[in-house]
Amino acid sequence: MKKIILAVAFAIVCSFGAFAGEGMSKDSIAPDPKDVGSMDGILTALYDVISGPAGQKRNWDRFRTLFIPEARMIPIGKRADGNTGKKVMSIEDYINSSSPILEKMGFFETELHRKVETFGGVVHVFSTYESRKMKEDPAPFMRGINSIQLWNDGKRWWVVTIYWQNETPQLPIPEKYLKD
């Protein structure tokens, strides 16, 4: 009986240790406290780090510091065949697929509106965005909504998931996500 109790106690301690280590980053640089010290900071950093002119490399090390290691990026939308699809990516998948495109064409994404819902440690942000190829472009070439899940571990903010869809003529952004 003592062996069973010890085995269960050991399993609990190991489980707690594994859970306590979740969210620990293995970034190549330390996170900037301005980026991760507040909800506004992490959301500003998120848009800032992917934005830049054509030919400019993005600071992907900074990008990595914003996310839990297991984070996912999930765009959804219509496929060429008309069906709705999704692409589930790790942070590295996103960097590898997006970096060449963002750096070649130039890309500036800005937040237009934000709706935040919170329950305990669960924070959900509906962040309406617009995108331009050059900051000076008079009109965006794309708009949509990012569904961003955030977590504050008591020390800093983390991005857990970003799930997004671009606006289309058949799916315009509802007015309630464009104004306060």
The pLDDT value recorded for residue 5 is 36
Residue 74 counted as domain residue: yes
State the CB neighbour count (10 A cutoff) for residue 108.
Answer: 20
Residue 133 counted as domain residue: yes
68: containing domain: 31-177
The pLDDT value recorded for residue 26 is 52
Residue with tokens 């190549």: 28
Instruction: Answer whether 61's CB lies under 8 Å from 88's CB.
Output: no
The order of strands in the sheet holding 142-152 is 84-86, 67-78, 157-166, 142-152, 122-132, 108-119
The pLDDT value recorded for residue 121 is 85
Low-confidence ranges of the chain (pLDDT < 70): 1-27, 180
The pLDDT value recorded for residue 25 is 42
Residue 55 counted as domain residue: yes
The pLDDT value recorded for residue 102 is 95
Residue 7 counted as domain residue: no
Average pLDDT value for the chain: 87
* CATH number, position 136: 3.10.450.50
Residue 26 counted as domain residue: no
How many structural domains are present in the chain?
1
The pLDDT value recorded for residue 36 is 98
Residue 13 counted as domain residue: no
Residue 131 counted as domain residue: yes
CA 127, CA 146: separation in Å to the nearest integer? Answer: 5
Instruction: Answer whether 112's CB lies under 8 Å from 130's CB.
Output: yes
Q: How long, in residues, is the chain?
A: 180
Q: At 77, is the secondary structure helix, strand, or coil?
A: strand
CA 139, CA 128: separation in Å to the nearest integer? Answer: 15
Residue 16 counted as domain residue: no
The pLDDT value recorded for residue 79 is 85
Instruction: Answer whether 88's CB lies under 8 Å from 74's CB.
Output: yes
